[in-house]
Chain A
Amino acid sequence: MPSFNPEPTKKSERISRLVEHLFAKMPEIEPARAVLITESYKKTEDEPIVKRRALAFAHILKHIPIIIRPEELIVGSTTIAPRGCQTYPEFSWEWLESEFETVETREADPFYISEETKRALREIHPYWKGKTSSELATSLMAPETLTAIKHNVFTTGNYFYNGVGHITVKYGEVLEIGMEGLIHKAAEELASMNVGDADYPTKHELLEAMIISCHAVILYAQRYAELAEKMANETADPVRKAELMQISANCRRVPAKGAESFMEACQSFWFVQQLIQLESSGHSISPGRFDQYMYPYYKADLDAGKITRDQAQEYIDCVWVKLNDLGKCRDEESAKGFAGYSMFQNLCVGGQDKEGMDATNDLSFMCIWASQHVFLPQPSLSIRVWNLTPHELMHEACRLTRTGIGLPAYYNDEAIIPALMNRGISMEDARNFSLIGCVEPQVPGKTMGWHDAAFFNLCRPLEFVFSNGMDKGEQASIRTGELADLRTFEDFWNAYKKQVEYQIALMANSDNAIDAAHAARVPLPWLSCMVDDCMKRGLTTEQGGAVYNFTGPQCFGIANAADSLYAIRELVYNQKFLTLQEYKEAMDDNFGKGFDDISVREASVEIVNNLRAAGREPSAQEVAQIVARVKTADVSPEKKKKYQELLDKIDALPKYGNDIPEVDYLARDAAYLYTRPLEKYKNPRGGMFHAGIYPVSANVPLGAQTGATPDGRLAHTPVADGIGPMAGRDINGPTATANSVARIDHMIASNGTLLNQKFHPSALEGEKGLNDFESLIRTFFDQKGMHMQFNVVDRQTLLDAQAHPENYRHLVVRVAGYSALFTTLSKSLQDDIIQRTEQTSAY
């Protein structure tokens, strides 16, 4: 029978000091891993790739510097500097070297890098030339795919430059049987094989590689045990001495063996969580159902009187701090899209168990309080909500939301479970789902989901309809007809559909090329030994070893597509207010609202390309003249007036997000243009493609690569985020927005949808405010909405934070899919957050 104690626990004073220490300095790039992996790779060139990977992992774990930070109870740090990062040259490195001089001062996610580190990296980088996964991926891509990428229709940069990550391993099994248990399983599998088996050569290599990796992890923990003991002997403080001796004992035991106490379970969990992120640079390593697999250890200690609830809370809080002690340095463009130093370690509480019973327990509550105590963006805390989610748990979750931390995100079991079952997942597994990264549902320990596989900008194919596939003077997509030939709205719609479908095929090609490159060059034997059914299949997760395999690329900009299509139908075809050609001119002229630097650059490139196409190479002087001419080009006053009239017309039309069925259902159809064709594509691991509808924060940088759109959005401004309405256009309040968004088919977007809502704190005042807020979430979920998350802030606070970042270093904001420190976001992203409609309650 489910039971829980909703009585709040206490926050230990240690936690604030741990947090303070963590944020004392700017995060730093360290070279140790890159140097060590290069050393190892040079020595193993004749070995099969899985073995090379295992030997390299072992070499890293044996030699990478280790540290125990002041007052830590749970130990294991990937870098000496807090929140630092290692680098992963086997995936890509050229961008990093070219950004050495700017990485410290860039707007989004700056990292300190010392001259010594630069030197060390410059020394090893040349070895990797021609050996990286990204180089292989490029060579595997079709030429038309490379063209599409160049023209920013979609981006697959995430796994192109980095490891995949985006996975939840069998934490529960490691807690139970430890690395020794996994070694034993691998050994049994080896023993069961016949040397004549077809897969013996490869499977044998993999199992051996898994055993090497597990031994390496045991050794790494032993190094911490020794360090802790040494520090214990050196300290005069008897309290700290006892703590260090305890840490030492824990690290001697776990993760080698099964955990025998809650504290050991926390330590064991953390080593697994940390080291997955040392084996590969993939982010979104998601702890998943922490409240479920940790519970037996908590319960046993509590029942035996070995631990108090407050002590258990302190260990959990310590784990939460550690989850913020990891960093990842992305290339400058990607950093803008994932801004906020986020690692997207999604950890979820509540929901149903495999048998359909409510799974809430004490730890579900304590995870929520941990986020309140630590008040940092990691973990990305999620709550699974279903019809029988206890009111008490919802209330604590809403209370956390009210603090403004942007956590937790709310997920709907009633939509996600059937959506997963529709993908061939068993009911038992579907009920046990957890979230990856931003919003992606999957079965923990059994899935290689390749979530977050691409960002697909729904506005770009719309531009291609207007340009007949041309972009910056190049044929970047297919021809779908001259504008004059699109005589009916249906013609226009079909042209858009063709453009979307063509680009989807190229995106699938891009993803599959990268997928194949990962399988060939960066298989992950250690990760794979913690995912079903890699051992039995004798394949890594990269090679298709997981039970469930997917590729989940996400689209965004549905609101712009819907508002644009609606405007075209009304103004061009119904009212005949203007022709498509006139519409195109208005957009080319940015509706008379002037040209920014990007427009000037793009227009100049187009002119130059046209000259080249005509067989004339312009001189540098001519190029400068072109730029100067474009810069000063202006729109005539008559045209400006006309454009303003058009903008006013567009403005007066109904917009998606206001509970207006005719435009909402158009948005539904527009979403299908992406979600349906995607389903027919397969990946090299034997799984299918399925859609997500969320942007992380890519709607800002990718919006900057998108011209003006027919919905009146100006060139290079942000595109709508997630499945929500365009910022500032939802004016009928949160229930209207929720009703509109629920009209889109969420179930088909089984890789997750994202609805971001911003609330003024006054809407959540008192117990009544919390109750009403809970009702809002539950009613959205009654309508089979999939996900909801909230920013509870006031505009003034955000403006002040912009002006005085130093006073708001801990201000957490949820940006499309995750929480981030507001002051670490780029200015344009901050502006986007501020601009979102504030849905304050009535005065």
Chain B
Amino acid sequence: MSYLDTTGRIFDIQRYSVHDGFGIRTIVFLKGCLLRCRWCCNPESQEYAIQEMRQSDGKVRIVGQDVTVREVMKTVEQDRMYFRRSGGGLTLSGGESLLQYEFARDLLHAAKDQGFSTAMESMAGVSYDRIEAVLPYLDTYLMDIKHINGAKHREFCGKDNALMLENAWKVASSGQCELVIRTPVIPTFNDTVPEIRAIAEFAARLPGVEQMHILPYHRLGFDKYVGLGREYLMGDVKPPSRELMMELRDEVNKTGLRCMIGG
């Protein structure tokens, strides 16, 4: 069986994405996550199971679809010319792509075979051999580090962060791909200078890491919680101000990293 026949479960494919890697990209969202971050804007990504979600227009949408690499690539290839013009390509996101690491690996492999640039958004919370499997096909690893403090991480995301931080070191040391650290800035969780600064200092020490993205919290996922019949735990928390984001950016820049607000 060809690697193009590997099957996986996705919940969306989004073209003309310009905030997740270089150039114009197509994002494939893989279903299933190992964390349960309270602010998650894609709550339908968390369960691996196929779900029903009621949209704001009242219609019910089936979230989750089993597809082969070949099928996904058919859509991805439709933007070949845009990738060529812009240097873009395929980005995997989720959920946590590595929960379906064979599917992820084969998607990236297929994209590389087509000459597309590849990127993956992931928090690296799986055993390293799974990460190692995808690295040969990966150009840019957009790795989430949400907090340095393990206890706080567990409280807000449902899991400890030790394995993730350890994997960050391993990926960086492998030198096999560009590593970019991404941090969502969440009021009530990590929106202070010392907390962001701690992540930045950790990132700056990782061999070869040059960039960090800080992504302001937004509440655009709210409707989806309603649609899934779930409670929105963030309540009325407001997005961080522009001033705060700029202050945090300057703080990150002090560590020698290049910091971008948004992707």
Contact = CB atoms under 8 A, between A and B. Distances in A.
Interface string A816-843: 0000000000000000000000010111
Contacts of A769: 18
Contact of B81 (A732, A733, A783, A842): A783
Contacts of A841: 16-19
B85 interface: yes
Contacts of B19: 765, 841-842
A358 interface: no
Among B86, B88, B218, max chain A CB count under 10 A is at: B86
B24 interface: yes
Given A775-B85, A775-B86, A783-B81, A842 B23 contact: no
Given A779-B81, A783-B81, A843-B218, A735 B18 contact: no
B90 to A, nearest CB: 14
Among B24, B88, B260, max chain A CB count under 10 A is at: B24
Interface in B119-154: none
Interface string A205-241: 0000000000000000000000000000000000000
B262 interface: yes
A659 B78 contact: yes
B85 A735 contact: no
A400 interface: no
Nearest to B221: A843
Contacts of B81: 779, 782-783
A841 B17 CA distance: 6
Among A766, A768, A769, A842, max chain B CB count under 10 A is at: A842
A779 B88 CA distance: 12
A672 to B, nearest CB: 24
B27 A739 contact: no
B34 interface: no
Nearest to A768: B18
A734 B14 CA distance: 11
A842 B85 contact: no
B79 interface: yes
Contacts of B41: 843
Nearest to B27: A842
Contacts of B79: 735
Contact of A772 (B24, B78, B84, B220): B24
A803 interface: no
B225 interface: no
Given A769-B18, A776-B16, A843-B41, A739 B23 contact: no
A626 interface: no
B262 A765 contact: yes
A403 interface: no
B95 to A, nearest CB: 14
B82 interface: yes
A763 interface: yes
B83 to A, nearest CB: 9
A775 B218 contact: no
Interface in A556-598: none
B20 interface: yes
Contact of A778 (B85, B88, B220, B260): B85
A782 B85 contact: yes
Contacts of B86: 771-772, 775-776, 779
A763 B85 contact: no
B15 interface: yes
B78 A776 contact: no
A736 interface: yes
Nearest to A732: B15
Contacts of A765: 19, 262
A772 B18 contact: yes
A732 B82 CA distance: 14
Interface in A776-809: 776, 778-779, 782-783
Contacts of A783: 81
Given A778-B85, A782-B81, A843 B18 contact: no
A697 B14 CA distance: 31
Nearest to B84: A779
Interface string B81-105: 1101110100000000000000000
Among B18, B24, B79, B260, max chain A CB count under 10 A is at: B18
B161 to A, nearest CB: 24
A842 B21 CA distance: 12
Among B23, B81, B262, max chain A CB count under 10 A is at: B81
Contacts of A659: 78
A763 B27 CA distance: 15
Given A765-B262, A776-B24, A735 B15 contact: yes
Interface string A705-741: 0000000000000000000000000001111100100
B248 to A, nearest CB: 17
B245 to A, nearest CB: 13
Among B14, B82, B220, max chain A CB count under 10 A is at: B82
A733 B78 contact: no
Contacts of A734: 16
B140 to A, nearest CB: 14
Contacts of B23: 771-772, 775
Nearest to A661: B78
Interface in A283-326: none
B23 to A, nearest CB: 6
Nearest to A759: B16
Interface in B1-41: 14-20, 23-24, 27, 41
A127 B85 CA distance: 62
A839 B20 CA distance: 16
Interface string A731-759: 01111100100000000000000000000
Nearest to A773: B18
B18 A736 contact: no
A779 B15 CA distance: 14
A772 B88 CA distance: 9
A443 to B, nearest CB: 30
Interface in A230-282: none
A842 B24 contact: no
A779 B85 contact: yes
A775 B27 contact: no
Nearest to B42: A843
B17 A842 contact: yes
B108 to A, nearest CB: 19
Contact of A763 (B18, B82, B88): B18
Interface string B216-252: 0010110000000000000000000000000000000
Nearest to A765: B262
A647 to B, nearest CB: 13
Contacts of A732: 15
B14 A733 contact: yes
Contacts of B20: 842
Interface string B197-219: 00000000000000000000010
A763 B20 CA distance: 12
A841 B14 CA distance: 9
B263 to A, nearest CB: 9
Given A733-B16, A769-B18, A772-B18, A843 B82 contact: no
Among B14, B16, B85, max chain A CB count under 10 A is at: B16
A765 B262 CA distance: 9
Among A772, A779, A782, max chain B CB count under 10 A is at: A772
B220 to A, nearest CB: 5
Contacts of A782: 81, 85
Q: Ordered nearest first, which 8 A-B pairs have the shortest CB separation? A: A775-B86, A775-B85, A733-B16, A733-B15, A842-B17, A772-B18, A779-B85, A779-B82
Given A779-B82, A842-B19, 20 more contacts: A659-B78, A733-B15, A733-B16, A734-B16, A735-B15, A735-B24, A736-B15, A765-B19, A772-B18, A772-B86, A775-B23, A776-B16, A776-B82, A839-B16, A841-B17, A841-B18, A842-B20, A842-B27, A843-B218, A843-B221
5 contacts: A735-B16, A776-B86, A779-B81, A841-B17, A843-B41
Interface of B: 14-20, 23-24, 27, 41, 78-79, 81-82, 84-86, 88, 218, 220-221, 260, 262
